[in-house]
Copies of this chain bind each other. A is one copy, B any other.
Amino acid sequence: MQTKILLPEAQMPTHWYNVVADMPTPPDPYLGPDGRPVPPEAMAAIFPMSLIEQEVSAERWVAIPEEVREALRLWRPSPLYRAHRLEAALNTPAKIYYKNEAVSPAGSHKPNTAVAQAWFNKQAGIKRLTTETGAGQWGCSLALAGQMFGLEVRVYMVKVSYEQKPYRRSLMQTWGAEVFPSPTEMTGAGRQILAAHADSPGSLGIAISEAVEEAAGREDTNYALGSVLNHVLLHQTIIGEEAKKQLALVGDYPDMVFAPCGGGSNFGGIAFPFFADKAAGKQVRLVAVEPSSCPTLTRGVYAYDWGDAVGLTPLMHMYTLGHDFMPPGIHAGGLRYHGDSALVSKLYNEGLIEAMAVPQLETFEAGVLFARSEGILPAPESCHAIAATVREAQECARTGEPKTLLFNLSGHGHFDMTSYDRYLSGELENFEYPEAAIKESLQHLPKVG
């Protein structure tokens, strides 16, 4: 009874898949504050042209450079698992597979795009990258990638996380990155915040402002983002491409694919390559799973909004809860985002993918069940996909239908043990659906044009 379906390195995908090529209607352009499309060149202050081209490309296949493939081979192809023990624990006729992205050195899918972004920046002559990080998953991944290609990396880490999650900070430093608690005195944005609130705990919005400001102001420095943007989702499609090859090795194909969805790179990474088949007429359901407390797709509106909290980015057409919506402090930090990828949003708006929201306690219950049956301790973000899969597998147990289910195990939870601690000791609660807060923040959507 085979547990792991391994793909030889020689069969690792050579191209990323660009879902834009198969979308019925093209993505809507990013807009400036004047309501006019932002020209690609306008992004050149912080991104290399190669990545900007990927951002606006409609080509179906984009070649993965050999140096990037060599870096990816440190952990890729990642194994596909058949979850025999989870199936037995659920007593379900469903077949459950999961793609294990926790095997990367940083412990999640994030390095897939970090190494690509680092390499393309290196090729463009860039010496330094700046970025923000909250819990630290993305900062770690970029620190690792920068180290691999000889780029300096500076991470603005939300101050409260910097203090509460010292291990992720140490990991970034071990990989050679500079890490500063944001807000800092090193940028105008940081100084402005500190002048008003000397004891500001920081926020992702502030950290983004600092990282972007520094990158925009220095010739040798660019900025890197860990999700949301088209080129980031593109780099993650290697996950779904590998999963398709691995399922083919055992003669299987999923009826449903589940992934956690915050900014969308995790979901896009595994789901888009299956969307290519769906666009060609194949039956497959693609389900984005979000927290009930930050229900962007299931309760937000489809509108133009800023990608950050303070209006520094272009306007993107996406599902949003409002750029100043402050999600409750759920433990799946990677899913605490007010908006969503424009590509994921468009597909959802056109009814081509599905979305569901799961409450926090159900996600941890599923995560503990998974850890106890499959051994691996999942990241709180990944627990959302597990919970959705468990729901469906239980439904199969009721109906007797032997569906084939696939989910993306986006990362391990080795640095999230305080969340498990709180769950196991009964301290965690489900947050109420934040209706009033969403209603309030949706009133602040920008007027376009």
User: Which residues of the other chain, B, contact A4 by a CB distance below 8 angstroms?
Assistant: 9, 73
Compute how far the CA of A73 lies from the CA of B6 in the bound complex, rounded to whole angstroms.
12
Contact B147 A372 (CB under 8 A): yes
- Is residue A187 within 8 Å, beta carbon to beta carbon, of the partner chain? no
User: Which residues of the other chain, B, contact A374 by a CB distance below 8 angstroms?
Assistant: 74, 105
- Is residue A164 within 8 Å, beta carbon to beta carbon, of the partner chain? no
CB distance from A102 to the nearest CB of B (A): 10
Contact B375 A144 (CB under 8 A): yes
CB distance from A162 to the nearest CB of B (A): 13
Contact B417 A166 (CB under 8 A): yes
- Is residue A355 within 8 Å, beta carbon to beta carbon, of the partner chain? no
Contact A375 B417 (CB under 8 A): no
CB distance from A355 to the nearest CB of B (A): 28
Contact A375 B105 (CB under 8 A): yes
Q: Tell me which of B3, B167, B372, B376 contacts A73 (CB under 8 A).
A: B3
User: Which residues of the other chain, B, contact A171 by a CB distance below 8 angstroms?
Assistant: 377, 417, 420
Q: Tell me which of B1, B8, B74, B368 contacts A375 (CB under 8 A).
A: B74
Compute how far the CA of A372 lies from the CA of B414 in the bound complex, rounded to whole angstroms.
20
State the copy count for this chain. 2
**Which residue of B is nearest A74, CB measured?**
B375
User: Which residues of the other chain, B, contact A180 by a CB distance below 8 angstroms?
Assistant: none
Compute how far the CA of A6 lies from the CA of B174 in the bound complex, rounded to whole angstroms.
28
Contact A174 B368 (CB under 8 A): yes
- Is residue A2 within 8 Å, beta carbon to beta carbon, of the partner chain? yes
Chain A window 1-32, contacts with chain B (Cβ cutoff 8 Å), 1 for yes, 0 for no:
11110101100000000000000000000000
Chain A window 164-180, contacts with chain B (Cβ cutoff 8 Å), 1 for yes, 0 for no:
00110011011110000
- Is residue A70 within 8 Å, beta carbon to beta carbon, of the partner chain? yes
Chain A window 144-188, contacts with chain B (Cβ cutoff 8 Å), 1 for yes, 0 for no:
100110000000000000000011001101111000000000000
**Which residue of B is nearest A374, CB measured?**
B74
User: Which residues of the other chain, B, contact A368 by a CB distance below 8 angstroms?
Assistant: 174
Contact B174 A105 (CB under 8 A): no
Interface residues of A in 110-159 (CB under 8 A from B): 144, 147-148
Compute how far the CA of A176 lies from the CA of B176 in the bound complex, rounded to whole angstroms.
37
- Is residue A276 within 8 Å, beta carbon to beta carbon, of the partner chain? no
Contact A421-B166, Cβ < 8 Å, known A9-B3, A175-B371, A377-B171 = yes
Contact A6-B3, Cβ < 8 Å, known A105-B376, A170-B424, A175-B371 = no
- Is residue A107 within 8 Å, beta carbon to beta carbon, of the partner chain? yes
Interface residues of A in 74-102 (CB under 8 A from B): 74-75, 85
User: Which residues of the other chain, B, contact A73 by a CB distance below 8 angstroms?
Assistant: 2-4
Contact B170 A107 (CB under 8 A): no
- Is residue A433 within 8 Å, beta carbon to beta carbon, of the partner chain? no
Compute how far the CA of A311 lies from the CA of B10 in the bound complex, rounded to whole angstroms.
55
- Is residue A347 within 8 Å, beta carbon to beta carbon, of the partner chain? no
Compute how far the CA of A147 lies from the CA of B372 in the bound complex, rounded to whole angstroms.
6
User: Which residues of the other chain, B, contact A420 by a CB distance below 8 angstroms?
Assistant: 170-171, 173-174
**Which residue of B is nearest A103, CB measured?**
B103
Contact A174 B377 (CB under 8 A): yes
User: Which residues of the other chain, B, contact A415 by a CB distance below 8 angstroms?
Assistant: 414
Contact A8-B6, Cβ < 8 Å, known A371-B174, A372-B176, A377-B105 = yes
Compute how far the CA of A75 lies from the CA of B374 in the bound complex, rounded to whole angstroms.
10
Q: What 6 pairs between A and B have smallest CB-CB spacing? A: A105-B375, A167-B417, A414-B414, A3-B73, A170-B417, A170-B421
Q: What residues of chain A have their CB less than 8 Å away from a CB belonging to chain B?
A: 1-4, 6, 8-9, 70, 73-75, 85, 103-107, 144, 147-148, 166-167, 170-171, 173-176, 368, 371-372, 374-377, 414-415, 417-418, 420-421, 424
